[in-house]
Amino acid sequence: MSSTQDMESQHTKALLGITFASLLLVAVKASALLQYWQQTHHILLEFGSLPKTSSFLPKQAYWQELASQWDEFIAQSESRMLLAGQLLLLGDEALPEPELPVAVAPVCPKQEVITQACPEPVAPPKPVAYETPAYETPAAAMAEAVTVASVQTKIATDTLSANTTTESIDTSDGAQSIEPLPEATPDAIAAAQGPIPLGADDRILLVGDSLMQGLAPHLITNLKRKYKVEAMDLSKHSTGLTYPAFFDWPATVEDAFELEDYSVVIVFLGANDPWDMTIQGRYIRFGSEPWAAVYRERVARIINTAAAHRARLVWLGVPPLGREDLVGKASKLNAIYAEEADKMPLFARFVPTDATLTADGSSFTKFLELPDLGSVMVRTDDGVHFTTQGHRLLANLTLTQFGAARAAEKPVEDAASTTGGTDTDTIAPNNKITQR
């Protein structure tokens, strides 16, 4: 009987120990657990990090003060240990010089005599009574309201258009001037559709999620070797445009241009975006019209930022995804990317990836038949990411969007003969205005 009670007692103690350890883990790793939950379930929890453990203890002010005193004690101990070591090595020379007190003669403040009289109080203006206009019929009142609303809409539209089609550029004398975007004429659009010229002075910005993280090393190596250009890789795993509270890509791109001038932006986003959103406490289903409107605005913000800085933008499409809960969703994202890129034809282009990474051009393909290689695995078992060979195919597709910039002093024939005269080396004029 006693042995049975001892076993039950041990089980209880073990259960209590596991419970305490679990609670301690949650308290210590709260922020990491919140991030894991969002990345796994794609549900943004609307509260920040969990409160500190000390806030749950009685007399929390006492514990906070005790923790502060302990930190100060540790810092002083480290300082004393460092001084003791220096004394052993250098002797009295390690002692700091004493700080002598400095006597400062007091200075009496100057006395000022106020000669101005206080101003006379001013009576507040009388309120003006507002008379509500009388309308003969309810229809007249409605027409007046529609007219006012249309005028307000026009003002807002004109303001937005001015913000997205002009930019402030530093002139040589330091003054600010407004430079409008070039007109999208048919000839200019046709020229912009050719290979994007790259030279040694250009800089490239890489934007994306974990798919871009795998692609970036291949792009950086080939761009530097072929065009002598440098690239800045800002890719970050588990990010997208669906949850800006977790990571805000449009703001990140804007900040990047504030720090440095880029000639080209390559974007590879979307694999983490086929999920519902929470906007101002309202749940918005993926693919619905409200969802598409919000997502489209975030895509346009990145494209407009590049155009405002005269940078060319290449947006890579999301290839078909093989995970069960993601099948068929990539096409909805790609439609938004393509439509928004078409609105800025001189600066942005959408590059579909389906034809390069699928056997039939539309469905998920894990193995591809490649010339001289046979059947090659290009996608991983998770149905989302790529193998090394898949990254190489993506890099080759991306590199076809670029060509070597011609020297300004060389005629067209010399430049073509220098680069070999291939189709990819027939370069369209660059619309970029260098900012320094």
Task: Specify if 302 maps to a domain.
Answer: yes
What CATH number does the domain containing 362 carry?
3.40.50.1110
Task: Specify if 68 maps to a domain.
Answer: no
pLDDT of 381 > 90? The answer is yes
Task: Specify if 354 maps to a domain.
Answer: yes
Q: Which residues contact 214 (CB under 8 A, 6 or more apart)?
A: 385, 386, 391
Range of the domain at 298: 187-425
pLDDT at 158: 45
Task: Specify if 366 maps to a domain.
Answer: yes
Task: Specify if 339 maps to a domain.
Answer: yes
Task: Specify if 225 maps to a domain.
Answer: yes
Which amino acid, one-letter code, is at 267?
V
3-state secondary structure of 424: helix
What is the count of structural domains for the chain? 1
CA distance 304 to 317: 18
Average pLDDT, the chain: 75
* CB contact at 8 A, 322 and 366: yes
Query: Could you report the per-residue pLDDT of 244-301, keeping only the tens digit for each?
Result: 989 999 999 999 999 999 999 999 999 999 999 988 888 899 999 999 999 999 999 9
Which tokens go with 374?
């046979």
Task: Specify if 340 maps to a domain.
Answer: yes
Which tokens go with 328?
């068929």
Proportion of the chain above pLDDT 70, given as a percent: 61
Structure confidence at residue 433 as a pLDDT band (50, 70, 90)? very low
Query: Could you report the per-residue pLDDT of 205-214, keeping only the tens digit for each?
Result: 999 999 999 9
Task: Specify if 159 maps to a domain.
Answer: no
Which amino acid, one-letter code, is at 11?
H
- The stretches of 133-209 forming alpha helices (DSSP H) are 138-165, 186-192
Distance of CA 355 to the CA centre of its chain: 28
CA distance 241 to 303: 13
pLDDT at 352: 97
